[in-house]
Amino acid sequence: MSNANQTEQSQNTAEPTRWQTYKHIMDNGLWKNNQALVALLGLCPLLAVSNNIVNGLSLGLATLAVLLISNGLISLIRNHVSSDIRIPVFVAIIATAVTIIDLLMNAYLHTLHGILGIFIPLIVTNCAILGRAEAYASKNTLDKALVDGFFMGLGFLLVLVLLGALREMIGNGTLFEHTHLLFGDIAQNWTIHFSDNYQGVLLAVLPPGAFIGLGLLIALKNAYDAKKTAKTNNALGIPIAITPAPQQQENRP
């Protein structure tokens, strides 16, 4: 075997660098394995509170914080917990993180805490958080677990904010309404009004509007991915396989 072939083979079999690993985790969290648009996890709080930007941003930040705390702690103890009791231990860690976030929000963002209500404690039952703990944090080092928690949480947060923005614009004709509940008095004048006479579309702020909005976002993502895949295949000269329709057999006596 020539030196050139040996060099090429060694390059192909070389393990990815740390930054390549981080980039792969980032791509998964933000797009390829987005917990809301691809895995379809955590939809209950996502659909329930995303009627405006501030609610979506608040719940998204709380979820991101819980993901960071739980992923980090679970990664640290992964070699010290028996596989027989790992799920109860993971749930206990997640519940502790949620309790901390809940108490902090109640103390410093009391009005917003009352608006979000039960959906902050329900972060404990978010399958996206337990799923990342079981599938990734319990099998990887602390740095990778933290990066995974951050970008998985950020991807979930972005969907919450985008869906909240769409519903707020269509339903109320505004953006950034009530942001002072999260950012304080400095955000009193952040509200954008698109029209003084806009009556609003009630459907957008009701639960059916959340389902329709999320369905549109998922459809747009799937269409973009399909178009990108087709463009890549065409550039590489890969033929697109077309499956012929099955022929119907005639029923003969």
Instruction: Give the pLDDT band (50/70/90) at residue 109.
Output: very high
- C-alpha torsion sign, points 55, 57, 58, 63: positive
Q: What angle do CA 151, 155, 161 make, to 5 degrees?
A: 135
CA distance 180 to 113: 13
Name 174's bridge partners. 193
Secondary structure (DSSP) of 191-210 = -EES-TT----HHHHSHHHH
Give the mean model confidence (pLDDT) for residues 47-60.
94
Burial track 70-80 (b if 16+ CB lie within 10 A, e otherwise): bbbbbbeebee
* Both structure tokens of 136: 């990734």
- Segment 161-178, tens digit of pLDDT: 999 999 999 999 999 999
Which letter does DSSP use for residue 30 in this model?
A: I
What is the per-residue pLDDT across 177-186, written as a single tens digit (0 to 9) for each? Answer: 999 999 999 9
pLDDT exceeds 70 at position 90: yes
* Torsion angle in degrees (nearest 10) through CA of 202, 222, 59, 154: -150
- Whether residue 106 is predicted with pLDDT greater than 70 in this model: the reply is yes
Cβ atoms of 54 and 182 within 8 Å: the answer is yes
- What is the reported pLDDT for 251? 46
| Helical (H) or strand (E) element with 39 | none
